[in-house]
Amino acid sequence: MARRQKLIVYVLKANGHREKFNEEKIIRTCLKAEVSRKIALEIVKKIKSAAKDGIRTKDIFRMILDELDRIQHSSLFFFRLRDAIAKLDSVSYELYIKEILESHGYECQWNKIIKGKSVEHQVDVIAKRTKLFLVECKKHVNPHRFCGLGIILQVEARLEDIKDGFNEGKNNYDFDQAWIFNNTRFSEHAIKYAEAKGILLSGWGYKGKLAIEKMADKNKVYPVTILKTEPSVYQRLLHQRIITIQDVMKEKIKIQSRIADDLRNQVSAILV
């Protein structure tokens, strides 16, 4: 009797490329959530049995979260936070970073056009405490995508042109440093160059208390997309500039009262 051939499952990545189902990637993701290897292998087995050819990487990630949620592991919240930040549109993400900084005592301005020596520059956020920071907000939908050296070079060039503009009296912003917020990781070259140029980096898992998830978690400034509701509700909230869970409690929400009450109950549970 002929032996049945093992079906090979291919995964569809965010860039459109296909690759073979990789158990080790799932295991690494689970281990980062601080579960045991035994549990990680159990999760791999369940996902592999349910995965169909052409499954998307984001669907696999969602399945991992569901399995972690099922075992109620404490580290799951940071996985949900990363997923929630990735769901923000670019404008909401900039406003979210602004709210994180304000929760840490910074005075902030959003979306300013500043004249440099050569050209005008759109600055995502201006933050001031003891120093004046030019804040650049970079967001990727794919949590595994790196923020590379090119972004650091662009920000450094923008800062230099604005500084030259200040020296020639073209603007009133005497920036001390640039600060880049990124919801994923920075490449090694990006980190090395930023350190050499004195540019602050806040990425996922980098750097220490400046890591984006650490800054968000310190004062529980989480995006509304971390709440359990329909995507259409997220969109309506973000359209109303209700960006964080704190905004849900203090702003008047223009949605059905039943849904609004449910969201407030979720927020209360998180903020306890």
pLDDT in tens, 31-43: 877 678 888 899 9
| Residue 199 counted as domain residue | yes
Bridge partners of residue 132, in order along the sequence: 128
95 with 183, same domain?
yes
The predicted structure's pLDDT at residue 35: 76
Computed from CA positions of residues 169, 174, 177, 178, in that sequence, does the dihedral angle turn out positive or negative? Answer: negative
| Residue 65 counted as domain residue | no
| Residue 71 counted as domain residue | no
DSSP conformational letter for 47: H
| Residue 74 counted as domain residue | no
| Residue 186 counted as domain residue | yes
CATH of the domain at 192: 3.40.1350.10
Looking up tokens 């049945």 gives 4
Domain containing residue 173: 85-218
Looking up tokens 């978690």 gives 217
203 with 230, same domain?
no
Domain count for the chain: 3
Per residue of the chain (272 residues), what is the pLDDT tens digit? 444 445 678 898 878 889 999 999 999 888 877 678 888 899 999 999 888 888 998 889 888 888 877 765 556 788 889 999 999 999 999 999 999 999 999 999 999 999 999 999 999 999 999 999 999 999 998 877 899 999 999 999 999 999 999 999 999 999 999 999 999 999 999 999 999 999 999 999 898 999 999 999 999 999 999 999 999 999 999 999 999 999 999 888 888 889 999 999 999 998 87
Q: Which residues contact 192 (CB under 8 A, 6 or more apart)?
A: none
Sheet holding 120-128, edge to edge: 107-115, 120-128, 132-138, 177-182, 200-202
For residue 15, give both structure tokens. 């860039």
| Residue 67 counted as domain residue | no
Dihedral (Cα; 235, 214, 148, 135), 10-degree rounding: 70
| Residue 72 counted as domain residue | no
**If DSSP codes are grouped into helix, strand and coil, which group holds residue 92?**
helix
230 with 176, same domain?
no
Question: Residue 57: exposed, middle, or buried by beta-carbon count in 10 A (0-12, 13-18, 19+)?
Answer: middle
Q: Which residues contact 155 (CB under 8 A, 6 or more apart)?
A: 134, 136, 178, 180, 199
Residues 133, 178: contact at Cβ < 8 Å? Answer: yes
189 with 112, same domain?
yes
Question: How far apart, in whole angstroms, are the C-alpha atoms of residue 152 and residue 136?
Answer: 10
